[in-house]
Amino acid sequence: MNKHKILYIHSGGDIIGGIERYLMWGLKYHKYYEPYIGIVKRGRFYEYLEKSGLKNIVDLKGGRLREIHKIIRAIFNIIRFIKKERIEIVIANGLHPWIFAGISAKICNIKSVLYFRDALNKDSLSDLVTRIGLIITPSLYMANSRFTAESVQNTLGKKIEIEINYPAAQLETFDSIDEREAREFVQKEFKIKEFQKIYIFVGRIQEWKGQDVAILAFKNMKNKAKASLLIVGDYSYSWDIPYYNYLKELAKDEKNIIFTGFRNDIPVLMKGSDVIIHSSRSPEPFGIVIVEGMMARKPVIASAHGGPLEIIDNGINGFLFKPGDYKELSTIMDRLFEDKDLRQRIGLKGYKKAKNMFTIQKSFENFEKIIRRL
């Protein structure tokens, strides 16, 4: 029996975050559909997909949205691919790729899905691309959290039906990693002493992500001499360099704060650590890093706004703190440092919730259930 064919459109570029890894795994876990990923702009993410050995990766030969000739070329390539492969549904992973997906779907007269991966607010409407994207109506709206869906409705000032499908992480990846070996690797890789507790922050270097909150909290810890903080990630855009320099300056007197740069081995780093920190200053639309930390069986501390409120039950399977309050974060970090049983108990309960709600299999099963109604 031939499967129905769907085409995801992604902007591409150099960013490889949780949503990119989620999309990549989707190529393996669809049951009723044969998925393709069309990449508008070649870059680090396209190379990452190529190296993964996965099939059904399509180079759309496009570019930035201000390069009109490249927009036209990418749309032409999408239309040609849709007709050649008999694609039935086009899905845009965000508003920027929706420009390409929405126009192509309208021309080919096929179903389309606009998946909101980012929250909207009134400031979002100052972006021309966003305004254009919101004019094109899809067959179905979908969002990565209730928070994101509500932000879209509030920004538009009207109730539109938006299906919720949480992104996810691959549980098997974390279950396959030996914790002791991961610990030894992290200690050797970053020259961390055996007695030190390891805290880890994973995310792109951007001000709203709040790496400075994690650094300030670590500096405020009473147990910091016996701990290390890994700042995992790099900046993607030149305008993030001043913030990166600020972080380096903020941490310059702390020998136990380590900037790792971009890493491809996030699951190993998490499994080899003790506590995961997610200290965003602005609300995270969802927070795949939180789910990954839970799958690593580690206690996760996250800012109490946005998507994390839908993932963590405070004090039960993780901890929430007031956004930007580094002193409260520091107190929780010290508490977890001093209580091994608490670390293990919260880590295990977090793991069970992630296994029950946020696996790749469950996410794509729900996704297919939604789009089969189109």
Q: Please indicate, yes or no, whether residues 189 and 154 belong to a single structural domain of this protein.
A: no
Q: How many domains does the chain have?
A: 2
- Give counts: helices (H), strands (E), the chain: 16, 13
SS3 76: helix
pLDDT in tens, 216-260: 999 999 999 999 999 999 998 899 999 999 999 999 999 999 999
If asked whether residues 100 and 199 sit together in one domain, one would say: no
- Taking only the tens place, the pLDDT of each residue in 163-208 is 999 999 999 999 999 999 999 999 999 999 999 999 999 999 999 9
Looking at the fold, whether 159 and 273 belong to one and the same domain comes out as no
Q: What is the CATH number of the domain that holds 126?
A: 3.40.50.2000
65: pLDDT confidence band, cut at 50, 70 and 90? low
The mean predicted confidence, pLDDT, of the chain is 94
Say what the pLDDT of residue 352 is. Answer: 98
As a whole number of angstroms, the distance between CA 330 and CA 218 comes to 6
Residue 304 pLDDT > 80: yes
Torsion angle in degrees (nearest 10) through CA of 46, 52, 58, 62 = 0
Q: Quick one: pLDDT at residue 22?
A: 86
Domain extent for 190: 171-357
Strand order through the sheet with 57-59: 57-59, 33-41, 4-12, 89-93, 111-116, 140-143, 162-164
Question: Is the same domain home to 163 and 298?
Answer: no
Between CA 343 and CA 274 the distance in angstroms is: 8
Nearest to 288 by CA among 274, 275, 307, 271: 307
Is there a single domain that holds both residue 198 and residue 124?
Answer: no
Do residues 314 and 342 both lie within one domain?
Answer: yes
Cβ atoms within 10 Å of 227's Cβ, excluding its own: 21
The yes-or-no verdict on residue 17 having pLDDT over 80 is no
Overall average pLDDT of the 210-216 stretch: 98
CA distance 273 to 293: 10
